[in-house]
Each structure stands twice: as structure tokens, then as C-alpha cells.
């Protein structure tokens, strides 16, 4: 976060402490991974574009609703939200009310018009096998692949895309309470700093705190995924870089937003072209891993990815032909 505005960095540490800590834990050599089907990987390589899908059409669509409901319960519990509301009122009167009002004005849109690209943190120990819990998301009729990518593009500071990355929180209700209690403590201890800020900008930060708490939360049982979401909302954050398309995915007609994988130095969008973005590709459990590997290598070569054969590995995990039990 060296190139961020110092005031923004400090506000992030105050209002999104867990997000702040997880961002600090990401190093320059860290990597993210996008689990998808081999078929969709070919689309990405052919189109040189990635898609943001509506959260209602994804496997884990209930997660946004879970975050919304958990936040709603917290905000409707006067014992839970009193500390934060009081701390903000003491620092900058009216900011809490403005942020909450804006959140509820946009809530319907957040529920229906949130589009995400999902990635996960990737460990070196997973270089050859991927993560078993994420392979299990694929049904028997598809072959999954793990596309390991450089982390830098996901952490760049740019307003051009109007798409924002955030780690997913796997909080219980108690952990959510603890997070906002910590926020209240940091607001109180930074009262003088907050009082000097532009009130509109501060209200926007509190609003964003609520937005990401609602849209980037999942059931604690999924914590092994260590997911990050790149979130956009075409109504809240219109972007000329994200273009609407209509597609049929898994038999379901739906709207997606696509972003071309082309660098734009003027917009500080760098490192997203395929040859520099892709670190490696891991082929999941499959009866046809050999032919799939050959095809992916050929496709990467056509996209000018250097030494593609060294970047495509077969996990070797067996393909289960019958359910356990």
C-alpha cells in the first residue's frame, strides 16, 4: 500500500481492520488463484477477457444474503451498534446516520446488482496439487483448472475500473460483533484525525465498510477457501472498462460484465495481460488430463506466454467415478 494516499490507508486501518491486516499479509511475491472450468479457461484465453458474474448466479449466491442479514441483525441490535455509533457521533456528528442511510438506499442494488470475480490466496505447497476443498466444487461432468496469477494487479490503486478487491470474511455473529467493537475503539482513539477529514469522504468510507461487510462475507464453514472478491456494481460504480454482455452459462441466461486483459498505463492498470499475469495452471481431477494439458499449452503459446509447458501441471488427483458412502 506504499502508493496509497496516507489518509486512505489510515481510514482503512480504522474502519476495516481485518481487511487491512490481510492486505498487509499479501507480499509482492504472493499469488492468487482462480478456480474455473477448463472450458471457461479457453474462453478467457480466446477472448483475452475475464468476466464478473452476478452473485445470484454463482454457486455460493446465498453468501451475499448471509452477509446482508448478519449485518442487518447487528445494526438492529442497539447493544451491538451503540459503541460505533457513539464513537462516530463524538468524532464527526451525523456521519454514522448518513452512511447507514446511504447503505439502506443501495441495499436492493447490492443484493441484485453485485458482480464479482472470485480468486483465492494460493500457497507454494499447492503448486502441484491445488486445494482439494476447491476441486470439490466441480461436478463429475466438468474438469476444473486452477489458474495461478500474480497478485499485484489485484492490489493496484485505480479508479478507472470501478472494481474493488477485498478479502472475504468468514465471521460468526460474535466475530462480526468483535470486528465492529474494534472499529469503535479505533474511531475513539483517532478522534482528532477523523475530525479533520472531509465529512463527505468520511461518510463514504463508513458506507464502504458496510458495503463490504455485506457483500464479502461467507459462512464460517468455508474459511478454508481464503477467498478474495473483486466487486463491482454497475449502478453504484458505472465503469466504461466493464462491458455488459449476455451469456448462457450452465443453461442459465444471464448478464455478465467483461474486462479486457489489456494494460492501460494512463489508468494505472498494469500487469493484467496474459503473458505477465499467468504464473501457472493446475489441471484438476480428470480422465483426460493429458490431452487437456496439451491443448492448454498450445493455447498459451498462441497467446505468447513464455515457456508454456513449464507452466501447466497435472494435479494427479484421482477422478472419483462414484459418490462416497
pLDDT in tens, 126-142: 999 999 999 988 888 89
Percent of the chain's residues with pLDDT above 90: 82
The string of pLDDT tens digits covering residues 195-215 is: 999 999 999 999 999 999 999
pLDDT given at position 160: 83
Average pLDDT over residues 69-91: 93
pLDDT given at position 101: 97
pLDDT higher than threshold 90 for residue 324: no
d(CA 6, CA 197): 12
The string of pLDDT tens digits covering residues 82-92 is: 999 999 999 99
Average pLDDT, the chain: 93
Could you tell me the pTM of the whole model?
A: 0.92
| Helices 95-112/78-91 angle, 10° precision | 120
pLDDT higher than threshold 60 for residue 322: no
The string of pLDDT tens digits covering residues 217-236 is: 999 999 999 999 999 999 99
With bands split at pLDDT 50, 70 and 90, how would you rate the model's confidence at 320?
Answer: low
Amino acid at each position: 500500500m506504499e502508493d496509497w494516499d496516507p489518509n486512505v490507508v489510515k481510514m482503512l486501518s480504522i474502519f476495516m481492520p481485518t481487511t487491512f491486516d490481510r492486505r498487509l499479509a499479501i507480499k509482492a511475491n504472493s499469488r492468487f488463484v482462480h478456480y474455473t472450468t477448463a472450458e471457461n479457461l479457453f474462453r478467457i484465453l480466446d477472448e483475452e477477457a475475464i468476466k464478473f458474474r452476478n452473485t445470484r448466479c454463482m454457486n455460493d449466491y446465498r453468501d451475499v444474503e448471509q452477509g446482508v442479514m448478519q449485518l442487518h441483525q447487528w445494526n438492529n441490535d442497539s447493544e451491538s451498534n451503540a459503541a460505533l455509533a457513539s464513537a462516530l457521533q463524538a468524532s464527526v456528528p451525523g456521519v454514522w446516520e448518513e452512511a447507514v442511510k446511504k447503505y439502506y438506499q443501495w441495499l436492493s442494488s447490492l443484493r441484485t446488482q453485485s458482480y464479482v470475480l472470485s480468486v483465492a490466496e494460493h500457497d507454494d505447497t499447492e503448486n502441484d496439487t491445488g486445494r482439494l476443498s476447491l476441486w470439490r466444487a466441480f461436478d463429475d461432468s466438468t474438469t476444473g483448472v486452477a489458474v495461478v496469477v500474480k497478485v499485484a494487479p489485484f492490489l493496484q490503486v485505480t479508479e478507472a475500473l470501478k472494481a474493488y478487491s477485498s478479502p472475504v470474511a468468514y465471521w460468526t455473529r460474535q466475530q462480526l460483533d468483535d470486528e465492529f467493537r474494534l472499529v469503535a475503539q479505533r474511531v475513539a482513539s483517532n478522534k482528532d484525525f477523523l475530525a479533520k477529514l472531509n465529512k463527505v469522504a468520511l461518510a463514504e468510507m463508513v458506507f464502504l465498510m458496510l458495503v463490504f461487510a455485506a457483500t464479502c462475507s461467507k459462512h464460517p464453514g468455508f474459511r478454508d477457501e481464503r477467498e478474495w472478491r473483486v466487486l463491482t456494481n454497475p449502478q453504484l460504480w458505472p465503469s466504461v472498462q466493464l462491458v455488459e454482455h449476455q451469456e448462457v452459462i450452465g443453461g442459465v441466461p444471464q448478464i455478465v460484465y467483461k474486462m479486457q486483459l489489456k494494460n492501460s498505463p494512463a489508468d494505472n492498470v498494469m500487469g493484467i495481460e496474459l503473458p505477465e499475469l499467468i504464473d501457472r495452471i493446475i489441471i484438476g481431477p480428470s480422465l483426460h488430463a493429458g490431452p487437456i494439458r496439451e491443448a492448454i499449452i498450445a493455447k498459451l503459446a498462441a497467446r505468447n506466454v513464455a515457456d508454456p509447458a513449464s507452466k501447466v501441471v497435472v494435479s494427479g488427483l484421482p477422478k472419483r467415478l462414484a459418490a462416497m458412502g
